Structure 1
Amino acid sequence: MDPYEGFREFVRGRQQALMRTAYLLTGDAPQAEDLLQTVLMRTARHWRRLAANGDPEAYVRKALINEHVSWYRRRRGRVETPTAHPPESGRGRDTGDESLHRLALRDALLRLTRRQRAVLVLRFYEDRSIEETAYLLGCSPGTVKSQTNHALGWLRVLAPELADLLRDADPQEAAP
């Protein structure tokens, strides 16, 4: 019996969504690819058990977050020199304002703590509930609420030009 039965199909079907999550966590396409590849390699080793448990995607998403945090902890003492931003792809009908908003949001997200960024990605990009986010991050729902509140507050300070986007976030839901 093939220990990877179903794994290839899972990766083909969910790779784009998982890659977007990895990119939102890292803010860098090559790092996102490395992160996803690392997590998928580990997932493949345990695929039979994960598939039997019924929700391998939840495991992979949690592993992405945990691995991302682990990379940060390991690299904390190293000095890295950032490179120039990759050019926009030119696909779609993007107006200049949308590009500026996207860049402002990306830059502001990268200035948040990794935990705050993970909370915002899970809550607002992946549309996860407070309880799901708490489970994926291994913390309490109250921590998710306070981290969301702090992160949104920092985004309002770091990128006031995104006020329209941030107004959509329900402050009652983020309150501790």
Structure 2
Amino acid sequence: METPDFDDWVTQRGAALLRFAYLVTRDHSRAEEAVQDALIAAYSRWTRICRTHDPEAYVRRSIVNADISRWRRFFRRETPAADTAPVDPAPDPAVAQAEHDAVWALCATLPAKQRAAVVLRYYEDLPDAEIAVILECSPATVRSQIHRALASLRTTLGTEEVKG
């Protein structure tokens, strides 16, 4: 199997990687940073990655790791100040957009690995085996992460309905 050229591969897969990163991070800037960090790390090992791994899975896993590492660094170095600014959500008249935002707000409450598993399953429509390769775990762990994520979302929705 011939090693694909790194630049050509990034040109072909870059947009999909950025979409994936956005769904994992929920922020365009963080998504761009995570993709950039993952591609920088992959560049120097590109031939070896292509020889021994699926480059797509490797880079996706690197994106998840880059985002997790960023948050670990953030919480180690900075102490968040109390949020004193009032939250001013921009109301959107479209019901579909409001539902879309509500779903992503709920997903934002999930831990990073659970969120990544849910995104890979329900947005990217990947099977357990491929998700397991990307997240470097067993397919059973993938199913467990998704089960826990959905249970957490159900609990959150149930609590919201009781409040509302």
Same fold (TM over 0.5): yes
- Work out the number of aligned pairs and report it: 152
TM-score of the two chains, using structure 1 as the length reference: 0.74
- Give the structure 2 partner of residue 26 of structure 1: 25
Listed one character per residue, the Cα deviations across residues 58-105 of structure 1 (whole Å, up to 9, x for unaligned) are 111111112222222222233457898998xxxxxx981220111101
Give, in whole Å, the separation in 1 of the partners of 2:129 and 2:157.
Answer: 28
Listed one character per residue, the Cα deviations across residues 128-173 of structure 1 (whole Å, up to 9, x for unaligned) are 211222222122222211211111122233346xxxxxxxxxxxxx
- Give the structure 2 partner of residue 63 of structure 1: 62
Q: Aligned-pair RMSD on alpha carbons?
A: 2.9
CA contact (8 A) 1:43 1:60 kept: yes
Which runs of no fewer than 5 residues in structure 1 stay unpaired?
Answer: 88-93, 161-176
- Give the structure 1 partner of residue 161 of structure 2: none
Distance 1:73 1:139, change over 3 A: same
Instruction: Could you list the structure 1 runs, at least 4 aligned residues long, displaced by more than 4 angstroms after superposition.
Output: 80-87
Q: CA deviation at 1:25?
A: 1.1
* Higher mean C-alpha deviation, range 126-135 or range 97-106: 126-135
* Structural mapping, 1:23-172, within 5 Å: 23-53=22-52, 55-77=54-76, 78-80=78-80, 96-159=94-157
Distance 1:110 1:85, change over 3 A: farther
Percentage of pairs with the same residue: 36
* Higher mean C-alpha deviation, range 16-25 or range 137-146: 137-146
Give, in whole Å, the separation in 2 of the partners of 1:119 and 1:140.
Answer: 12
CA contact (8 A) 1:104 1:159 kept: no
TM-score of the two chains, using structure 2 as the length reference: 0.79
CA contact (8 A) 1:26 1:68 kept: yes
